[in-house]
């Protein structure tokens, strides 16, 4: 994980699915959990979703708050 990954969580939008257009940092935990169970997509999108899942699962979403400002 790099600082750039954290920035991407706040800027990269989900490209498909029910939450298309929503930034990855704002995806609900149950959706991230579904990916964790079913498998994350390949590439950078999968890496970002896995990172966001870990932040959500460990109740660390607040780490992104200073970057939102």
Instruction: Tell me the per-residue pLDDT of 19-30, one tens digit each, with 9 for 90 and over.
Output: 999 999 999 999
**pLDDT attached to residue 51:** 97
Are the beta carbons of 32 and 24 closer than 8 angstroms?
A: no
Give the residues of the chain that fall short of pLDDT 70: none
**pLDDT attached to residue 68:** 85
**pLDDT attached to residue 46:** 96
Are the beta carbons of 23 and 9 closer than 8 angstroms?
A: yes
CA distance 43 to 16: 15
The reported pTM is 0.92
Q: Which of 54, 57, 66 is nearest to 10 (CA)?
A: 66
């Amino acid at each position: 994980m790099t600082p750039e990954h954290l920035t991407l969580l706040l800027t990269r939008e989900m490209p498909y699915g029910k939450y298309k257009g929503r930034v990855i940092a704002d995806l609900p935990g149950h959706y991230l959990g579904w990916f964790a169970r079913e498998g994350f997509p390949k590439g950078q999108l999968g890496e970002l979703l896995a990172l966001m899942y870990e932040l959500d699962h460990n109740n660390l979403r607040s780490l992104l708050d200073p970057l939102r400002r």
